[in-house]
Structure 1
Amino acid sequence: MNTELKAGALVAFGGYAQAIVYGMLAFAPLGQAGLAYGIYAGLASALLGSAVGALGGKAPVQFGGPRSSTALIVAGSLLGFLQITDNHTELMLLLALEVSLAGLFIALAQRQGVGKLMQFLPAPVLIGMNTTLGVFSAYKLLPAIVGFAVFTGFLEAFSEPGPFSLVALGVSAITVGVLLYFRAIRPNPLGLMYGLAAGFGLHLVLLWAWPGDLPVQTVAAWPVHPFLNTTAQQVSGAAQQLPALFLDRPELLLQLVAGSAVLALMVVLESMQSLLQVDQTLGTRHNTRRELNVLACANMLCGLFLALPTSNYFSRSNTGLSVGSKNRRSEAWYMLSLSALLLLTWPVLEHLPLHILATAVAVTSLLLIQPSTVRLVRQFFRPRQRKKMLPTDRFTVWVVLSMIAVTGLSNLLIGTLVGVLFVAAYFLQQQSSSGLRSIEYAPAARSRSMRPRAQRQHLQTAFEHLAWVRFEGNLFFGNAPSIAIVLQDELTKAQSIILDFSHLGYIDDTACDCIERLINNAPTSLAVVAVMPNTSNPNQGGADLLRKVLEKFNVPVQAHIDEAFWWIENQLLGTAVHNIAPANTEQALVQSHLCDDMNPEQTRQFTRFWECTQVAAGQELFREGDDPCGLYVLLQGQLSAWQHTGNTSERLMRFCPGSLVGEMALIDNKPRSATVRADSECSLLFLPARHFEELRHEHAELGRVMLNNLARELALRIRLANQSLAMMQ
């Protein structure tokens, strides 16, 4: 089956159940009378959202419809409206105005660049808000899970147990068991379908076997437009009453604007989170402005048609991706599948068991709660463990506790506003601390390479004007201009720069423009190299855009910081001759510093123990685990030492002409610790192990001087290892 069709059809089942349940949940304040309104509003939201999304959107696997967050906010708004008027026509007009206004706010937010801001959503705040919303949506649906009507409140259900049905509880329990098995024990993308199939199948068996009417709560109402049975004169009269309501109750306007703003915020947060998840999974980068405009249009239409707000689903995007969906066709298949499902169930819609739909939606909402949140809360209340928690983890717990407390004391609307304040606090903190980690002149770090002493001294002087600029976290329009000013001031004395982006989480187009201006204004003599890992980082966004900027100015990009230091060192050495062989063996040994502290006679005597050898490019000089055979001095070419770990190999060291190779195993007489391979055709001097032992035992003074020089070489290797550790931090 085509993956796009499969993804659309699969998600349609979940979308159908959620549209009905969240619709009834939103209109729960109206009780039984709001049941038909809710079913209509939920299904209309799903169909309108998916239709507009399929026609106007470009990002894949984002499906329209109501969410638990928006449903609960609408329920809170209705409760507030009920304090002012109990006229259903006026209530519907107020709700239509609120949803349409939310769509307008989304469009205005897009104009102000909120899409850029949402590209790196604060994970601690999102985890906290999703956890809180999941808890409260499951709390609101708990009565339906245990056999009550979906619009029954938690306290109302347990204070008036009359409508309770033991049969409904049994069917719900079996549905929960199937869902948990296929969602938690053996995760399967079809788990929701299996749960619904089990619940509906058992319901059909009971209908066939049960004598008389089955004691379960069903939809028991046809979805109708709230104004279908209302005359135009009644609608017109209600519309004329709205200005008087606003004048008599100024707080009504404030409530309407606040509700619209929170609805818009929740839609943008959830939709951009979904878009970000898709882009990270598929390695794409979609136009957030277009997607927000589509959402704005969809929600204004939802307001006109008296439907619930529609948003893009994070959970549904994951479901679509899990079955291989990669383009927007899945959205069209979702809309068609949802329409077909509605047509098939329309004749029996009023007989659908509510407790099965509510159970599926509630368990799904609970499973979407971040699994680590409960563990974080438990750690937070243990003083010893709290001290060891990361700041972001503590921040997550504070979001959860604050939102739950405020929502419990007031309502979800106020609780969500608290979550908004946490979003603002997070971004303020990010703006002040994220983006630029450090600017280090004359860094102690060097490439993992062995060079002649003269070259090392030259690099020591040149590194005084080398700036190592390390970025981390998020570089975005909020902090990029100030960071660009800092870089412009701090890099005036730099003659070479390493731009290290290996720890950058996200960079947007504004930050890329700042980087572009910085490179464009730099002197032409400035040597610049950038570090960007080749491996795709699911948490890094905007990398492709940054690469295009670097390619535009021919800035070389290295995959590892060691490669960047190697490149910049070769640039600083300039025209220094690396690969010209010394005139004779004695001169080569003197340049390797093995002859330090030897008199001329000892040097000539020491030279007679060495042999010449050649190694072709790609040939191994020795392998990891080999027995020590002797000591090498590289005359011409380049060697590299590699260490194999599992299926990967890591370069430990490069050897330039004049370097010693293989001295460690020769001294401790243990197997080789690494494989040394020729990067190019090489000429070497070779001191066999037997000659090494002869020097130590039969030429004591000469052997002592040689061992002292080898000890200095080993000390240099340790310093290089320390410098490489500094690069990895």
Structure 2
Amino acid sequence: MRLAQPWRNDLRGGTEAALQGMSTAVAPILLFVGLFGSAGLSAGYWAALVVVALVPCARLLMGGQPAILSAPRTASLATYAGLVLHISLASAGPTAQQAASGLTTTQLLVGLTAGSLMFLAASALVVLAGALRWGHIFKMIPIPVSVGISNGTALLLVWLALVQMNRGGAPAVLSAVSMLLAYALWRWSQKRVAWFANMPAVLIAVACGVLLTSVGNTAAPLGTAPQVMADTQWISARMWATLQAHDLLPLLMAGLPGTMTLALVMILETFTTAATMESRFNLRSDANRELIAMGTANMLGAVLGGVPCTGGPLYSLASWNAGGRGWLAALVCMLFLTGLLLGIAPWLLALPAGLIAGLLLLQAIPMADPAFMERLGRMLRTRQWRGEGTADLGFWITAAISLVGVFGNLIWATFLGIGLSSLAVLKRVSGNLTAQWTYLDTQRSRRVRGLAETTELARAAQSVGVLRLTGHLFFGNSLRLRQQADELDDRARTVVIDIAQVHEVDPSGIEALGGLIRSLQDSGRAVVISGLQASAPALQRARNNWAAVDLQVDLDRGLEACEERVLAHGAISTGTSTVATHHNSLLQDLHPDDVDMVLGLGQRRDVAQGAVLFQQGAPADGVWLLESGKVSILSGSGPLCSRLATFGPGQFVGEMGLIDGKLRSATVTADTVVTALFLDSQAIATLVDQYPAAALAITRNIARELSSRLRGTAP
């Protein structure tokens, strides 16, 4: 019987996720061996089995998002391993067999036992945060914090790899370097040969390391270690009773800061994965439900002897790109990796140092943030150590966290990052991104509207949302921008987002703006972006990522585009009426004979839509009396010109030349087909010379009109 298409997609997605994430499945083994030597091999193997086979299932049963696959993440794993090491050093066990880390075997067992209690407490804190509905608060932790922790963990893995290479000598160095070269060459080939994309680069690198080790006999086995098997002796609940022989309170107090840090890192990893899936595929997830599901599953893992397991971006992206969407993909991935771990158990005792070093380096590569590394490389090439704006601020915060994470510990690094980022947010956000939705009842274009149009726009004012962004878009306020979609009036069907006053932006801000646009579009709303040409260059480069967006030169034109949509939906004609020339406001209070005389001096003209009536900077050659159609008064030239006003039937333009005789101060273009009477300079001179009373009345009408316009622009 042939499987339905969604099931086939889930099978393919789960398999692809397992292939891409094989190296992370053995991460607990690698890190335990790297930190604790051969004594940590058996405990790491059991922890890997628990975290691969049981914790993901528990998370799904608790209602976690099925498209987000769980995996052991290096940052939380390193935090937990550091917690175990810290407690081990704080214990006062008898001296016994020395582990490679300098700990006694007894101290290591005490550290693992007490560490599992701390892990249980950290998981309970995560559940509590979800139950109290604090998910959205934790989502506001800035990106540089998680990036800095990730980079610091990558440096830690590199250091552990160097330790293994030093232990294994030249053969270990050769194996590790060969694995890195194989990984890089395969990634390079994947970009040029489509078939190569079917085979993960990590798998090729591991195969290269195994082949080189076996051919060259470069193995430097771990030596004597407990038998590697799925032994229930490592179930934490069974070991907790042994803590009665120790003074438990000092151990728990020593591990308390690490417990809080571990909970925070687990939350960060979960939300960074959710944010990645949301930004790339618009996959929305409930933050509080994810915390409860992930925390509960990890409580089970802590009881059974596992390690932290959070949302895995590598697994999730690979599964989604291969078509995996449901729980079956997670199940297939779990079964595949469990079989892998069971299959390699006999081989782990002879695991060569070079292969361990290579695997640690391969783990470090995806941990390092690409944007951070690109910026660091550019700084080293150009020797320019300081940049400008919030992007530079985020870089140095990330660098500080990374260094403290390596030379201090991840506990200090996490709180340092939160502190620095909070100061940056307080400094920047206080005067930036003063964004709030307004509507057509307070914002309107400068285009002149008829009575029917004005009435319809007033009735449907809430159908157009207006968001004016100012200042900086950066990691400190990117979440605030994402939340704007939820604050928009439900009646709004069209929105205009003005970014003309956004003069600085970092990658987080660009991603947040793109996410806002996609959220609005997914809810069925049309999106207009105004002011792009005047905004930050980074936003201009990002325009290609905004699909189906109407770009307008400024907010006035953006508002007009939205108004036209509203009027079209209400079946209101935007055609213009006609006002006979003798009723034009320029001729108000003139004697009928004088009106007829003025009309006789003028020239009737028809102007095509889009044509220019007169250009800014040109000599003033007359005044236009509009009979039908609409015109715009523009300041400046080219695509960045701004509209000062629009005029329609019964009004006049070009009168300033009559007042001061100087060059045109603005450009006037026809928004529609225009019919007008043009009084040129010769006709005006005739009026002044032969009909001074009529000329005086016209002058009074011009003064009255200018006064009305000034009052209309007053606050």
TM-score category (smaller protein): 0.5 to 0.7
Segment of structure 1 superposing worse, 3-12 or 540-549 = 540-549
Q: CA deviation at 1:296?
A: 0.6
Decide whether aligned partners of structure 1 residues 473 and 12 sit closer, same or farther in structure 2, where only a CA change above 3 A counts: farther
Residue 307 of structure 2 is matched in structure 1 by 308
Letter aligned with residue 274 of structure 2: L
Mapping of 1:65-214 within 5 angstroms? 65-83=71-89, 84=91, 85=93, 86-87=105-106, 88-144=108-164, 148=165, 157=166, 162=169, 164-165=171-172, 167-178=174-185, 181=188, 193-203=199-209, 206=212, 213-214=217-218
Decide whether aligned partners of structure 1 residues 663 and 35 sit closer, same or farther in structure 2, where only a CA change above 3 A counts: farther
**Residues 471 and 504 in structure 1, CA contact (< 8 A), matched pair in contact too:** no
> 2 CA distance for matches of 1:580 and 1:127?
61
Q: CA deviation at 1:674?
A: 9.2
Once the two structures are superposed, residues 219-247 of structure 1 have per-residue CA deviations (whole angstroms, 9 ceiling, x without a partner) of: 998994685458x9x986x5344245345
Residue 506 of structure 2 is matched in structure 1 by none
**Residues 183 and 201 in structure 2, CA contact (< 8 A), matched pair in contact too:** yes
> 1 CA distance for matches of 2:290 and 2:222?
37
Mapping of 1:237-316 within 5 angstroms? 239-247=240-248, 250-316=249-315
Q: Is the aligned partner of 1:585 residue 2:581?
A: yes
Letter aligned with residue 506 of structure 1: R
Q: CA deviation at 1:334?
A: 3.0
Decide whether aligned partners of structure 1 residues 505 and 425 sit closer, same or farther in structure 2, where only a CA change above 3 A counts: same
SS at match of 1:449: coil
Q: CA deviation at 1:270?
A: 1.5
**Residues 125 and 396 in structure 1, CA contact (< 8 A), matched pair in contact too:** no
> 2 CA distance for matches of 1:437 and 1:474?
11
Residue 505 of structure 1 is matched in structure 2 by 481
**Residues 610 and 685 in structure 1, CA contact (< 8 A), matched pair in contact too:** no
> 2 CA distance for matches of 1:336 and 1:367?
30
Decide whether aligned partners of structure 1 residues 203 and 282 sit closer, same or farther in structure 2, where only a CA change above 3 A counts: closer
Q: CA deviation at 1:80?
A: 1.8
Residue 537 of structure 2 is matched in structure 1 by none
Decide whether aligned partners of structure 1 residues 283 and 537 sit closer, same or farther in structure 2, where only a CA change above 3 A counts: farther
Letter aligned with residue 136 of structure 1: L
Instruction: Please point out which of 675, 687, 694 is paired with 1:684.
Output: 675
Q: CA deviation at 1:286?
A: 2.0
Residue 621 of structure 1 is matched in structure 2 by 609
**Residues 531 and 564 in structure 1, CA contact (< 8 A), matched pair in contact too:** no
**Residues 28 and 47 in structure 2, CA contact (< 8 A), matched pair in contact too:** no
Q: CA deviation at 1:357?
A: 2.7
Mapping of 1:18-97 within 5 angstroms? 18-59=24-65, 61-83=67-89, 84=91, 85=93, 86-87=105-106, 88-97=108-117
**Residues 218 and 354 in structure 1, CA contact (< 8 A), matched pair in contact too:** no
Residue 17 of structure 2 is matched in structure 1 by 11
> 2 CA distance for matches of 1:219 and 1:192?
36
> 2 CA distance for matches of 1:113 and 1:420?
20
> 2 CA distance for matches of 1:368 and 1:703?
78
Q: CA deviation at 1:96?
A: 2.0
Decide whether aligned partners of structure 1 residues 410 and 685 sit closer, same or farther in structure 2, where only a CA change above 3 A counts: closer
SS at match of 2:372: coil
Residue 536 of structure 2 is matched in structure 1 by none
Decide whether aligned partners of structure 1 residues 332 and 242 sit closer, same or farther in structure 2, where only a CA change above 3 A counts: same
Q: CA deviation at 1:675?
A: 7.4
Decide whether aligned partners of structure 1 residues 252 and 208 sit closer, same or farther in structure 2, where only a CA change above 3 A counts: closer
SS at match of 2:609: strand
**Residues 580 and 636 in structure 1, CA contact (< 8 A), matched pair in contact too:** yes
SS at match of 2:263: helix
> 1 CA distance for matches of 2:482 and 2:213?
56
Residue 151 of structure 1 is matched in structure 2 by none
Decide whether aligned partners of structure 1 residues 444 and 41 sit closer, same or farther in structure 2, where only a CA change above 3 A counts: closer
Q: Is the aligned partner of 1:607 residue 2:627?
A: no
Residue 393 of structure 2 is matched in structure 1 by 394
**Residues 15 and 46 in structure 1, CA contact (< 8 A), matched pair in contact too:** no
Decide whether aligned partners of structure 1 residues 92 and 638 sit closer, same or farther in structure 2, where only a CA change above 3 A counts: same
> 2 CA distance for matches of 1:702 and 1:131?
85
Letter aligned with residue 179 of structure 2: S
> 1 CA distance for matches of 2:86 and 2:308?
18
> 1 CA distance for matches of 2:519 and 2:630?
35
Decide whether aligned partners of structure 1 residues 369 and 447 sit closer, same or farther in structure 2, where only a CA change above 3 A counts: closer
Letter aligned with residue 259 of structure 1: G
Q: CA deviation at 1:53?
A: 3.8
**Residues 154 and 368 in structure 2, CA contact (< 8 A), matched pair in contact too:** yes
Decide whether aligned partners of structure 1 residues 428 and 48 sit closer, same or farther in structure 2, where only a CA change above 3 A counts: farther
Decide whether aligned partners of structure 1 residues 143 and 601 sit closer, same or farther in structure 2, where only a CA change above 3 A counts: farther
Q: Is the aligned partner of 1:370 residue 2:372?
A: yes
Q: CA deviation at 1:59?
A: 3.3
**Residues 270 and 314 in structure 1, CA contact (< 8 A), matched pair in contact too:** no
Letter aligned with residue 47 of structure 1: A
> 1 CA distance for matches of 2:395 and 2:182?
32
Once the two structures are superposed, residues 432-458 of structure 1 have per-residue CA deviations (whole angstroms, 9 ceiling, x without a partner) of: 667746999xx9997333589xxx9xx
**Residues 141 and 362 in structure 1, CA contact (< 8 A), matched pair in contact too:** no
**Residues 71 and 315 in structure 2, CA contact (< 8 A), matched pair in contact too:** no
> 2 CA distance for matches of 1:191 and 1:219?
37
Mapping of 1:405-424 within 5 angstroms? 405-422=403-420
**Residues 6 and 323 in structure 1, CA contact (< 8 A), matched pair in contact too:** yes
SS at match of 1:307: coil
Decide whether aligned partners of structure 1 residues 253 and 68 sit closer, same or farther in structure 2, where only a CA change above 3 A counts: same
Q: Percent identity?
A: 19
Letter aligned with residue 360 of structure 1: L
SS at match of 1:621: coil
**Residues 432 and 470 in structure 2, CA contact (< 8 A), matched pair in contact too:** yes
SS at match of 2:26: helix
> 2 CA distance for matches of 1:367 and 1:74?
22
Decide whether aligned partners of structure 1 residues 253 and 113 sit closer, same or farther in structure 2, where only a CA change above 3 A counts: same
Segment of structure 1 superposing worse, 332-341 or 556-565 = 556-565
Letter aligned with residue 556 of structure 2: D
Decide whether aligned partners of structure 1 residues 141 and 57 sit closer, same or farther in structure 2, where only a CA change above 3 A counts: farther
SS at match of 1:539: helix
Q: CA deviation at 1:289?
A: 1.2
Decide whether aligned partners of structure 1 residues 597 and 22 sit closer, same or farther in structure 2, where only a CA change above 3 A counts: farther
Aligned residues: 610
Letter aligned with residue 242 of structure 1: L
**Residues 106 and 296 in structure 1, CA contact (< 8 A), matched pair in contact too:** yes
Q: CA deviation at 1:258?
A: 2.1
> TM-score scaled by structure 2?
0.65
SS at match of 2:481: strand
**Residues 64 and 312 in structure 1, CA contact (< 8 A), matched pair in contact too:** yes
**Residues 17 and 361 in structure 1, CA contact (< 8 A), matched pair in contact too:** yes
Q: CA deviation at 1:257?
A: 2.5
Decide whether aligned partners of structure 1 residues 409 and 255 sit closer, same or farther in structure 2, where only a CA change above 3 A counts: same
Unaligned residue ranges in structure 2 (runs of 5+):
94-104, 455-465, 500-508, 531-554, 568-574
Segment of structure 1 superposing worse, 695-704 or 7-16 = 695-704
Letter aligned with residue 269 of structure 1: L
